[in-house]
């Protein structure tokens, strides 16, 4: 894992300061916050022994958000729904701290 640049510890801040706004398109700060959060989700998932079907769902949700962030006008509503899905998946995989963070981000 370390050869791939993946560390063994996940740095999950108590308060990310990230909260999605009401606008139809994500702001630059929201895009950066989501990208940073995806790194933490990826690291946490790599450290967990997650069953394959759950892992598959997590990967697809991560990819969906990554693609959305590449858009010149990434949609807030899409990001919010994918973050809801990731929140539920983090809960199922035992990553309750990430689930709680995702809950606050979506509001």
pLDDT tens, residue by residue, 7-53:
444 454 454 578 899 999 999 999 999 999 999 999 999 888 889 99
Contacts of residue 86, Cβ cutoff 8 Å, sequence gap at least 6: 41, 58, 61, 62, 65, 102
Mean pLDDT estimate for the chain:
86
- Is residue 14 assigned to a domain? no
Report if residue 65 sits inside a domain.
yes
Domain assignment present for residue 35? The answer is yes
Residue closest to 10 by CA, chosen among 58, 46, 52:
46
Counting the structural domains of the chain, the total is: 1
Chain centroid, CA 35 distance in Å: 7
95, part of any domain: yes
Residue 77 included in any domain: yes
User: Is 3 within the bounds of a domain?
Assistant: no
The predicted pLDDT at position 85 comes to: 97
What average pLDDT score do residues 53-66 get? 97
Q: Which pTM does this prediction carry?
A: 0.82
Please give the DSSP secondary-structure letter assigned to residue 75: B
Give domain status of residue 4, yes or no: no
Which residue range is the domain that position 48 belongs to? 25-106
Question: Is 50 part of a structural domain of the chain?
Answer: yes
């Amino acid at each position: 894992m370390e050869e791939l640049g993946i560390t063994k510890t996940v740095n999950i801040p108590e308060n990310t300061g990230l909260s999605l706004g009401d606008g139809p398109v994500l702001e630059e700060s929201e895009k950066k916050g989501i990208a940073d959060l995806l790194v933490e989700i990826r690291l946490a998932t790599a450290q967990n022994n997650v069953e394959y079907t759950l892992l598959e769902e997590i990967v697809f949700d991560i990819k969906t958000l990554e693609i959305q962030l590449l858009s010149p006008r990434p949609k807030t509503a899409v990001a919010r729904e994918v973050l809801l899905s990731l929140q539920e998946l983090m809960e199922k995989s035992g990553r309750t701290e990430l689930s709680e963070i995702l809950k606050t981000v979506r509001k």
